[in-house]
Amino acid sequence: MTNVLKQTDLNAVLKTALDGVVVMRLDGTIAGWNDVAERVFGWTFEEARGRRMSDLIIPPQYREAHERGLAHFMATGEGPVLDRHIEITALRRDGHELPIELSITFTRQFDEPVFLGFLRDISERQEAHRRQELLLAELSHRVKNMLAVVTGIAHQTSRSSASLEDFTPAFAGRLQSLARGYEMLAHSNWEESNLPDLVEALLGPYALPPDMRATFGGPPVELDAKQVLSLTMVLHELITNATKYGAFAQPQGRVAVSWDWSTATRPGQVHFTWKETGLVGVRPPSRSGFGLKMISLSTTHELRGSSSTEWQEDGLLFTLEFEARRPVQ
């Protein structure tokens, strides 16, 4: 047999294989190369024919081991990587290494003893595995954070509740509000959400006819996951307070919510206003409850902003400023 490999039966293997197939002679040169291998590695068969495998698609760090393995097989007839699946990297024409699944078989059925290498690009599989690992790690982190938040809410709500009857609705309401925040984040794949969407989700029922007790509006403001959860809890406390003691507890009470970039005291911050009106003889509470404490803590530690609460004669004025991202126009 000359150094020209008979192609009759081998062509059928090369053309019908779904994976990349590379045929290597005992001297380490390439004798066969199918269309899939051409797409994966960027070399045509005519360009690859006769070249040493170690010079073409084997990364530099594996070349010495490849040559030793070939020499070992020639001396003993044994090869540690034969007839098994391994994962390794291969070299593309552009110099980029890509992960592949490789299986190598030695055969004499094509009139010349050759090695058949079946190669599959597993870049997408490895990327999917990497994303899954990141997702599981992120999920574990978020579950731990959520449990810590729920534990804190339960503890603080119990301290500010006079009885179990007081505790149950307060605690349930805060959990429902937290759940709405998580639901919004789930819909956005835990990426950015929008402040108008958040306000509408929580305050929208109060803006419906016939009462239309609330109005709200402002420009788009991008919120990250932490901001969504923090503002959800802040708005829940404001709505709860208005429902029990403020504007939503009185027929003539109204709530107006607005936000803007131009009225903020510092660039890059958004100025958020919650204003209750329609009340008479409003007086500040004698003590600060858990709701106001939560608002203060969320503003300072989670939103890294500032807030103020002013008890006016006809209602409550709450303002909040925090850093946020403007949507790209």
Q: What is the 3-state secondary structure (H, E, C) of 77-102?
A: CCCCCECCEEEEEEECCCCCEEEEEE
Secondary structure element (H or E) that encloses residue 279, with its range: none
Q: Identity (one letter) of the amino acid at 168?
A: T
220, two tokens: 């788009």
Give me the residue spans of the domains in the chain.
Answer: 8-121, 126-323
Condensed to tens digits (0 to 9), the pLDDT of residues 163-175 reads: 888 788 777 766 6
What average pLDDT is seen over the chain?
Answer: 82
Q: What is the pLDDT of residue 1?
A: 41
- The residue among 47, 40, 39 whose CA lies nearest residue 90 is 40
Q: What is the pLDDT of residue 178?
A: 59
Residue 189 to residue 55: CA distance in whole angstroms: 45
Residue 317 to residue 130: CA distance in whole angstroms: 48
Q: List the CATH code of the domain at 8-121.
A: 3.30.450.20
How many CB atoms lie under 10 A from the CB of residue 101?
15
Residue 50 to residue 52: CA distance in whole angstroms: 7
User: Exposure string (b/e) for 187-214, b if CB count within 10 Å is 16 or more?
Assistant: eeebebbbbebbbebbbeebbeeeeebb
Condensed to tens digits (0 to 9), the pLDDT of residues 208-248 reads: 777 788 899 999 999 988 888 888 878 888 888 887 788 88
Average pLDDT over residues 73-78: 89
- The residue among 104, 20, 41 whose CA lies nearest residue 32 is 20
Q: Give the residue, 185 or 127, on which the prediction is more confident.
A: 127
- Residue 255 pLDDT greater than 90, yes or no: yes
Q: What is the pLDDT of residue 30?
A: 93
Condensed to tens digits (0 to 9), the pLDDT of residues 104-116 reads: 999 887 778 899 9
Residue 208 to residue 252: CA distance in whole angstroms: 15
Q: What is the pLDDT of residue 36?
A: 92
Residue 282 to residue 269: CA distance in whole angstroms: 30
| CATH class given for the domain over 126-323 | alpha beta
Task: Please report which confidence band the pLDDT of residue 38 belongs to, taking 50, 70 and 90 as the band edges.
Answer: very high
12-26, 59-73, 259-273: range with lowest mean pLDDT: 12-26
DSSP string, 37-59: HHHHHS--HHHHTTSBHHHHTS-
**Strand order across the beta sheet in which 315-323 lies:** 214-217, 254-260, 269-277, 315-323, 306-312
Q: What is the pLDDT of residue 2?
A: 45
